[in-house]
Structure 1
Amino acid sequence: MQNSAKLRTLSFLLGSFFLCACSSSYQVVKSNRGEYKLSKDLAVDSSIIRTYQPYKLKLDSQMNEVLGYSDNELTKKLVGGESSLGNFFADAALVEARKTSPQIDFTMPSTNGGLRNDLPLGAITLSNVFELMPFENELIVFELKGSDVQTLLDYIARTGGQPVGGLTMKIKAKKPVDVRIGGQPFDPAKNYSVLTSDYIAGGGDGISSFKNPVSSKVLKLKIRDALIQYIKETKIKGVKISSKLDGRMTND
């Protein structure tokens, strides 16, 4: 028992020694704890406002920048497996990605759940795009075997339709039929170049189609940046965004 007590004492002293040796010269000498209830009745602290106000004004000026204009409201409401917002989202990502990877056959850059906010009729601001796409997701191009593309098509059909570009299909009894990629019938024996996000590629929303690609290429292009660039380009051209339902995805 005496030996055990000595060992515990020695262990404590050694631990204290190493703790002191590794710690900085600063020590807590006093600590207070308090609770503050937050409510609408809480008085405004003008000193805090004065501190953050210059930063808020600068951020507001940036977020209120008008990137372009839309000819119609773009909503995520699904009609027959597609939505005006989903069509815009997929088309914009595909156009911008093809500038560096023109071989891309089709895209599914997001799931319906990833479309976080509608875009308004008229002016589209930087804030609108951040509200639509608040995540830092990157675009990646994958070369997939036809069998892996088939599992992706099965997922799209099983979930009632997803945002796609460069691809048309019909959904019958939750199965993909009459699939066309780039205007040509889908060939399960071929490899296809597919654009998607790092979230989906990593298995997001239960998608496993990108686990064993033939090859992959990170474009170093965030989806949000692709959307911003696409909207800005329409403004430079003097045209408005007009994304409507076009039958790329039907659900019988």
Structure 2
Amino acid sequence: MVKSNRTEYAVNSKVAPDSSVIHTYLPYKLKLDSQMNQILGYSANEITKKMVGGESTLGNFMSDAVLSEARKKYPQIDFTIPSPNGGLRNDLPLGAITLSNVFELMPFENELIVFELKGTAVQGLLDYIARSEGQPVGGLTMKIEAGKAEEVMINGQPFDTAKNYHVLTSDYIAGGADGITCFKNPVAVQVLGLKIRDALIMYIKENQEKGKKINSKLDGRMSNDKS
């Protein structure tokens, strides 16, 4: 090499479309659009991440969907916290739910994992949920009073710190998201080979095959005295 040049090209609205580039990617775009516009099922209401009393219809939908699909692989699951509130990226519309909608909701490749935790570790998780004023959960109900978890019911039974629980969560949360540390020393771990996004797709499709619309509601599983 005897000489080199460096030039910066600004990419903005002033750049004219390059027909050769468009010609190259257009077939792939059309194929991708046809896949992403595939209708998986239908919703009876808009499903949003708006928090009310510590829960949201989107958080309830995601939690119930992944819990339903994961229990087919591992029936012993007691409850789930599949994602923090910040991981719920997009609302689901009223009416048709497309594959694109699900990718927009869950663009990450997060895996679902079951952790068997001691009751003391679960208490730490409940404390986190209470401090953060509510998180998406399924199989769990609780009240948040003065920043503490009260009247906790897991899988229909009162929470007992002397028991072990099988908790379904994501590799993201288990890895310490939002400063969560209770998954560091589990009794046992079971990797399901199931991504959150795939579980959502399967759940929506199965309901569609049964002629059912997705109908997520606020059901009081999480109440907050600040709301």
**Range of TM-score over shorter length:** over 0.9
User: What corresponds to 2:219 in structure 1?
Assistant: 246
CA RMSD of the aligned region, Å? 0.9
Task: Write the letter of the residue equivalent to 1:100.
Answer: K
Deviations 1:45-82 (A, max 9, x none): 10110000000000000000001100001100110000
Deviations 1:108-136 (A, max 9, x none): 01000110111110001111111100110
User: What corresponds to 1:174 in structure 2?
Assistant: 147
Distance 1:224 1:49 in 2: 30
2:14 to 27, 38, 41: 41
Secondary structure at the counterpart of residue 120 of structure 2? helix
User: What corresponds to 2:74 in structure 1?
Assistant: 101
Secondary structure at the counterpart of residue 139 of structure 1? strand
Query: Which consecutive unaligned segments of at least 5 residues does structure 1 have?
Result: 1-27
How many residues get paired? 225
Residues 1:122 and 2:104 are matched in the alignment: no
User: What corresponds to 1:110 in structure 2?
Assistant: 83
Which structure has more relative contact order (CA 8 Å, sep 6+)? It is: 2
Distance 2:80 2:216 in 1: 16
Distance 1:165 1:149 in 2: 14
The alpha-carbon deviation at position 30 of structure 1 amounts to 4.9
Task: Write the letter of the residue equivalent to 2:55.
Answer: E
Q: TM-score, normalised to structure 2's length?
A: 0.97
> Residues 122-141 of structure 1: matches in 2 within 5 Å?
122-141=95-114
Deviations 1:204-241 (A, max 9, x none): 11001101100001101011000011011111111100
> Residues 70-219 of structure 1: matches in 2 within 5 Å?
70-219=43-192
Task: Write the letter of the residue equivalent to 1:227.
Answer: L
Q: TM-score, normalised to structure 1's length?
A: 0.88
Work out the percentage of aligned pairs sharing the same amino acid.
Answer: 76
Larger radius of gyration: 1
Would you identify which runs of 4 or more consecutive aligned residues in structure 1 move more than 4 Å? none
